[in-house]
A and B are shown apart, each in its own frame.
Chain A
Amino acid sequence: MIKAVMMMNTQGKPRLAKFYDYMPVEKQQELIRGVFSVLSSRPENVSNFLEIDSLFGVDSRLVYKHYATLYFVLVFDGSENELAMLDLIQVLVETLDKCFSNVCELDIVFNYSKMHAVLDEIVFGGQVLETSSAEVMKAVEEISKLEAASNSISLVPKSVSGWRGR
């Protein structure tokens, strides 16, 4: 099971954080800070795995990847494979790349909702359900369409209902 997905920039600002077990927000923030402090102390060109038992409890592992100004972090337990998780980060980044054509940190900052749509297609309740970025893209585009549709319908009736209420 995947326990958490995080993205943060090299200054430690979280850009996306998802914890698959309920956790109070204070605890979440504490974990994000804890992970960042470990990551920021790692030199370049070393392995992408971290022993993280002190933060997430026994039998938890962490893989991360550093792209430009961002860290992508996955925390998971013993029923996942470390290298497969590394691949999963790759899948996630590839998908985002397709989504935003050459993704950069700003895309992630301003597309909070879409980020979640992408992530939710790949990881479902802590389980990896989709690893093909084409499939993910299909679903995400479908969701965007639905949202846009519901919005465009909404504009007129909402104001009309507002006027009527008068």
Chain B
Amino acid sequence: MSSSSTSIMDNLFQRSLEDLIKGFRLQLLGESNFISRALEEIRREIKVTDLSTKSTALHKLSYLAALHGVDMSWAAFHAVEVVSSSRFQHKRIGYQAITQSFHEQTSVLLLITNQVRKDLTSANEYEVSLALECLSRIGTQDLARDLTPEVFTLLGSSKAFVKKKAIGVVLRVFEKYPDAVKVCFKRLVENLESSDPQILSAVVGVFCELATRDPGSCLPLAPEFYKVLVDSRNNWVLIKVLKIFAKLASIEPRLGKKVAEPICEHMRRTVAKSLVFECIRTVVSSLSDHEAALKLAVAKIREFLVEDDPNLKYLGLNALSIVAPKHLWAVLENKEAVVKALSDEDPNVKLEALHLLMAMVNEDNVSEISRILMNYALKSDPLFCNEIIYSVLSACSRNAFEIIVDFDWYVSLLGEMARIPHCQRGEEIEHQLIDIGMRVSDARPQLVRVSWALLIDPALLGNLFLHPILSAAAWISGEYVEFCKNPYETVEALLQPRTGLLPPSIRAIYIHSAFKVLVFCLRSYFSAKESILSSSAQEFSSTSSSMNAFTYESILNLVNVIELGLGPLCGTHDVEVQERAKNVLGFIGMLKQELGEKLDLQDNETEAFRVTAFMEDLFSEELGPVSTTAQEKVCVPDGLKLKENLRDLEEICGEFLKPVESDSVSYMDKISFSVSKLRIRDQQETSSSSSPPHEASSLLAEHRKRHGMYYLPSQKDDPDSNGTPSDYPLANELANEISPNAFNPKRKPSQSKPRPVVVKLDEGDELRITPQAKTTIETGNDDESLSRAIQSALLVKNKGKEKDKFETNPNSGQREKEESSRIEENHQNSEKKKKKKKKKKNGEGSSKHKSRGRNQAAAASEQVVIPDFLL
């Protein structure tokens, strides 16, 4: 008794959804507080037996779930209760809650089957509609299987209101339960000839979805679709039919010829932009081989491009980008419009225009387009500016700088990019600068010039995004110091006080580059001197000729600048910077003594000379590009468990485990180590003929032996290891050997300047293509059962007599198909003339089909069903 009275009280004083919404707008508690209070209330109300109260509570809950993200899965059973009410209002609330919150894993899902069935057969069309809506949203395999007969009945309903929804629900039923195709397909297809536009629109929509999932299975219906395409004047219907043909034409090229004309007709006739656009899209994506249609479509695109409506402009550009890969002329024809769109205020339009412009880039116009884009980048907002920079960078670097002929120009362009105020693509520019340095030896002088300009610009140091570029510039000026006009200024730039703004890792590169420059200068100085002293040293004369400028004073000056610049860094907190600074200073300290007694050339300077020669040898090794697959070539040794959990190990000997040294660090260690060894040896007066260059090269050789797989394959078999370290190939030599002619065919005779050689690795330069084909096959598999069902249904459709036969063995799609094709064969002669739609046979006997694998059989049956009207 008490329970029923509280229920009445609850009911009388229950807050309706409207009260809740009003309360929500007036609440002062804070949103989450209010929601949790309301939820408390709902939890109480939803438990009472009175369905009115329960349904109102459920309604409130669905509202909170939809708009405020409240979980409502706990109320699943209550939704089932409410939906069983006989009152329409409750039912509607119940169904709404179910469609909103149920999914495959909902445990009470099985409980609604009977209720849905009851409502599907209700005399009230609105109840039927609720049940259909529910099925179309949450239909599972079980529901679809159990309710197929009801859906079939509803497909024949005389009420358009119910019928169109029954057609809509078929899609979900087919998807979940492919066997339903056998039952419902015929009625579905019949509706393609319906005169009611609502029904036609619904059924074409369903076929559009089916064709998207598996075009092959819908191919036999092409004549029906064609009829709709020609006869219908409903834009919604036509758009969907066009979508269907776009899919069908992609697998059956002969269709294109047939539909091109009606599509053009629509394009000329209609004023509806949506239909025009769909026609354009169909033509450019699937019928681009039909010249007349394509010409008309491109003309229409142009109309879109000059429209003021940003939507049309955007879609026009969109269509152009579909057509661009195959017919670039269409884009070129509209070049002005595309360039103009770059300054549009709509970011979508701008972006689309940019992509199109990049599609037009080739080696002839790359500089022109880049120049235009750079001007736009200067004026644009940061986001678009970086999008431009990124597009230019990626287009130019594509396929190992394929389209770049004039590298001097490109390197200067990279330098310019760094100076665009909004530029945030520092890392990409850094990567490309270094990549060009390694691949294109002819570009190095210009690289060094550009780097120098970047390094001396103090303004760049303040921009965080440009630091990577500066690090590349520093590396380049050190690595290719031989092209440097004025090493003294380079060192000054590398050690300017504002480098304090750089992060330590980049600062370390600066110091190391300064070190390289110093070594180079010393080396040139000594060798110049030596060549004066002993005419026999011919090998250095070539390098020294250009560097004769080094005098004793200039070297001393250089050394002083470095000492001054690095001195304060010895006390810095960053280990890497400190270490490198100390290394350089140590090196200088060692030399200075000997340099001081300049006059005593013969004895003293040999030591210094030897050390510099040693360092020079180390630095003069050229670095080539590394294959991106190098890492994969390392095979895991036997017994090495890489995936073992090492946490225990860490606990046991955490202190002893040091971070693994990277290659570059150990490389540095070795150098400093051997330098110190040298010094000791010097002190011990053990100067002998065991030349340091040899030691250096042997170190490298050893490194190469150990890590050979990371190096490029050696083309030169040079057994001589005593001379200059030449047993690993210079990048450029390699290129000469690999691809002297590879670039020639592309080169145009009109070019004033030949394209320099670009080192290109055989493998691993491009990112490996992910096996997309495989994934499409896999996704295809999901729909396979559906498409097979449709195919067999199509076969059945034309001979209703045989239908019973199939239904006797529903579980063997494979046998069924074979059987159907056999039946087809048997009846072919007799029915051929009667049938409106004829199937083209591929002439193979049915016995062959039996022995085939599943996929082959599917493929064969696809061949079977090519409609005759195409031919």
Contact = CB atoms under 8 A, between A and B. Distances in A.
29 contacts: A1-B209, A18-B66, A22-B102, A22-B104, A28-B66, A29-B68, A43-B345, A45-B310, A46-B310, A46-B349, A48-B311, A79-B212, A81-B243, A81-B277, A82-B315, A112-B17, A124-B164, A125-B169, A126-B136, A127-B168, A131-B201, A139-B129, A143-B92, A150-B90, A154-B52, A158-B50, A162-B4, A162-B8, A165-B4
A43 to B, nearest CB: 6
A43 B69 CA distance: 29
A130 B126 contact: no
Interface string A134-166: 010001001100110111011000110010011
A47 interface: yes
Interface in B228-264: 235-236, 239-240, 243
A90 B239 CA distance: 18
Given A79-B212, A83-B311, A124 B89 contact: no
Interface string A47-58: 111110000000
A80 B71 CA distance: 31
Given A45-B310, A139-B161, A162-B8, A125 B137 contact: yes
Interface string A12-41: 001111101010011011000000000000
Contact of B206 (A42, A46, A110, A127): A127
A112 B96 CA distance: 12
Contacts of A125: 133, 136-137, 168-169, 171-172
Nearest to B278: A81
B201 to A, nearest CB: 7
A20 B171 CA distance: 14
B89 A147 contact: yes
A139 B68 CA distance: 29
Contacts of B22: 110
Contacts of B44: none
B348 A28 contact: no
Contacts of B189: none
A129 B237 CA distance: 11
B126 A47 contact: no
Nearest to B350: A46
A143 B92 CA distance: 10
A139 B21 CA distance: 26
A128 interface: yes
B311 A113 contact: no
A120 interface: yes
Given A47-B313, A146-B88, A79 B69 contact: no
Contact of B67 (A14, A46, A135, A151): A14
Given A20-B137, A142-B126, A127 B52 contact: no
B315 A83 contact: yes
Contacts of B313: 47
A129 B133 CA distance: 12
A52 B271 CA distance: 29
A45 B202 CA distance: 34
Contact of A87 (B63, B136, B274): B274
Interface string B7-24: 110010000011001100
Contacts of B25: 109
B674 interface: no
Nearest to B208: A79
B346 interface: yes
Contacts of B93: 113
B797 to A, nearest CB: 23
Contacts of B235: 84
B67 A17 contact: yes
Given A18-B66, A47-B311, A146-B88, 8 more contacts: A22-B102, A43-B345, A46-B349, A82-B277, A83-B277, A87-B274, A127-B206, A143-B126
Contacts of A79: 208-209, 212, 240, 243
A90 B660 CA distance: 63
Interface residues on B, range: 35 or more
A21 to B, nearest CB: 9
Interface in A86-139: 86-87, 109-110, 112-113, 116, 120, 124-131, 135, 139
A50 B347 CA distance: 10
Contact of B52 (A22, A158, A165): A158
B72 interface: yes
Interface of A: 1, 14-18, 20, 22, 25-26, 28-29, 42-43, 45-51, 78-79, 81-84, 86-87, 109-110, 112-113, 116, 120, 124-131, 135, 139, 142-143, 146-147, 149-151, 153-154, 158-159, 162, 165-166
A150 B67 contact: no
B478 interface: no
Contacts of B239: 81, 84
A49 B50 contact: no
B827 interface: no
A122 B670 CA distance: 75
Contacts of B236: 84, 128, 131
A86 B277 CA distance: 13
Nearest to A51: B348
A129 B310 contact: no
Contacts of B104: 22
Contact of B348 (A26, A50, A127, A149): A50
Contacts of B71: 25
B277 A28 contact: no
B526 interface: no
B439 interface: no
A150 B55 CA distance: 13
B345 A28 contact: no
B361 interface: no
Contacts of A149: 88
Interface in B83-137: 87-90, 92-93, 96, 102-104, 124, 126, 129, 132-133, 136-137
B274 A83 contact: yes
Contacts of A139: 126, 129, 161
Contacts of B52: 154, 158
B506 interface: no
Contacts of A78: 212
Given A1-B209, A46-B310, A143-B92, A129 B168 contact: yes
A47 B346 contact: yes
Nearest to A27: B69
Nearest to A155: B52
Given A25-B71, A47-B349, A81 B18 contact: no
B35 interface: no
Contacts of B11: 158, 162
Contacts of A129: 164-165, 168, 198, 201-202, 205
A38 B67 CA distance: 19
A124 B314 contact: no
